[in-house]
Amino acid sequence: MLIINRTRHLFCLALGSLTGLLFSNGVSALEVDREVVPRITLAGRVISTGDAKNLDSSPDDETEFNLEDSAVLLRFDKRIYSDNGVAGAVVGFKEDEDGAQQFQQLHAFFWNRDFRVTLGRTRLPNMVIEVPTLRDDDLEAYSRVGTVSSNEDFDQTYGELLSFDWFINQKIQSFNVWAGSRGNGDEAEFAAASDGIDSYGVGYVYEQPEDLGLVKRIRRAGVSIQRQEVNDGIEKEWVNSLIAGFEINLNTDPSKNWALTTQAIINNGIDFVLDLSTIASQSQADSRAIVSSVRYTARPRLLTRWHAALSVAYKDYSDNSDASQWSVAPNVVYTLGQGVNLLGQVIYTDYDDGLFDGGRDLLFQVGISFSLESVFNDQIGERDSIMNLEHGYIQ
């Protein structure tokens, strides 16, 4: 029996040594594997609507099924050696207006309790208040500072940025400074546009934390000043923009909430923009825009079941005669279950004679959305929802 036990022991030692030789890949006994599994957040949304169109501004558009703004997001983050610091990266892709997939989020970040730094592709800070519509671009002409060097909808929302946010008063107030590069269109008119850093901005935001958002009067308020470079091949000019807006609770009942949202944009553009038929030319021109929304949200037992919103907007191009437009956009979102919503929206837009020779746009949208957000290996705690990187009213 002693011989058998010794034989078994020697066999186990030999097997262990052989396994170590095969799988060690030359790692010495003194090396330590420092790889720590990061916290992983998976989020995404599929939004699908049937769009019935009658557009004087784009007569060739037909009724279609619209998957635009559907997206998948991944965030990876770890704690770093300094106190309370977290670093990581976000990768996300979405469906654009042409049915193609693009990386709309591709950036690295660092944050702690006092500030946040972001470097890479993410949402442009070209608005301070989000409008309660089904998609980002539903009232884009009124709610965003447009990109002067592209007609693509994607380039109106996303760009490559270096952004610094400084938080005070437990994140209720924040200051933001950023510099970035917006997308340039493929058309010949943008051949002279800068491929480098062409946009700068600074802003201030006051925002209640999520648990106080329905019981305080002011939910969010902010102001932003930014400028973009315009280069026509002869000289470089700048388009300067001022954005200001607020969102307030008209009552403080979380179960039956009424909220008012208003944002105004003053855009001091370049001279002699005569043709206003494209997004870029409209972004380059002097303009004044305002959009305001009233939203009702029903939360029986503090569980959101449905909301209805009515948005009205007006925009005037001050240097162009008879160049103004206005829109009305009511919508309803009914929640079937967590992350599952039925959607309905109508957008009516009226143009003065200086835009598209006058006329009207009418858009009916009916559809459904599904969204999710799951966190794995959560060892960090504090962090905003990754869905905040996308349009937040449909989740």
Residue 23 has what pLDDT?
46
Compute, in degrees rounded to 10, the torsion defined by CA atoms 281, 282, 288, 294: -160
- Confidence band of 15 (pLDDT split at 50, 70, 90): very low
Residue 11 has what pLDDT?
44
Residue 395 has pLDDT above 70, yes or no: no
Long-range contacts of 212-215 (CB under 8 A, 24+ apart): 214/249, 214/252, 214/254, 214/257, 215/249, 215/252, 215/254
Residue 227 has what pLDDT?
95
Residue 113 has pLDDT above 90, yes or no: no
Name the burial class of residue 357, with classes exposed (0-12), middle (13-18) and buried (19+) by CB atoms within 10 angstroms of its CB: exposed
Reading the block at residue 146, the tokens are 């447009």
C-alpha 51/C-alpha 62 separation (Å) is 8
Contact assessment for residue 163 and residue 157, using Cβ atoms and an 8 Å cutoff: no
- Confidence band of 9 (pLDDT split at 50, 70, 90): low
CA-wise closest residue to 355 among 279, 289, 292: 279
pTM listed for this prediction: 0.87
What is the domain partition of the chain in residue ranges?
36-389
Residue 21 has what pLDDT?
41
Residue 191 has what pLDDT?
61
Contact assessment for residue 375 and residue 40, using Cβ atoms and an 8 Å cutoff: yes
Residue 187's φ and ψ, nearest 5 degrees, are -70, 155
Reading the block at residue 207, the tokens are 């925002």
Does the 36-389 domain belong in CATH 2.40.160.10? yes
For the chain, the first-to-last Cα distance in angstroms comes to 69
- Confidence band of 4 (pLDDT split at 50, 70, 90): very low
Q: What is the mean pLDDT of residues 370-391?
A: 85
CB atoms within 10 A of CB 56: 16
Q: Per 3-state DSSP, what percentage of the chain is helix, strand, and coil (rounded to 5)?
A: 15, 50, 35
Residue 30 has pLDDT above 80, yes or no: no
Residue 32 has what pLDDT?
56
- Confidence band of 68 (pLDDT split at 50, 70, 90): confident
pLDDT digits (tens, 9 = 90+) for 296-350: 999 998 888 999 999 999 999 988 888 999 999 999 999 999 999 999 999 999 9
| Partners of 90 in beta bridges | 75, 107
C-alpha 336/C-alpha 333 separation (Å) is 10
pLDDT digits (tens, 9 = 90+) for 148-185: 988 888 899 999 999 999 999 878 999 999 999 998 87
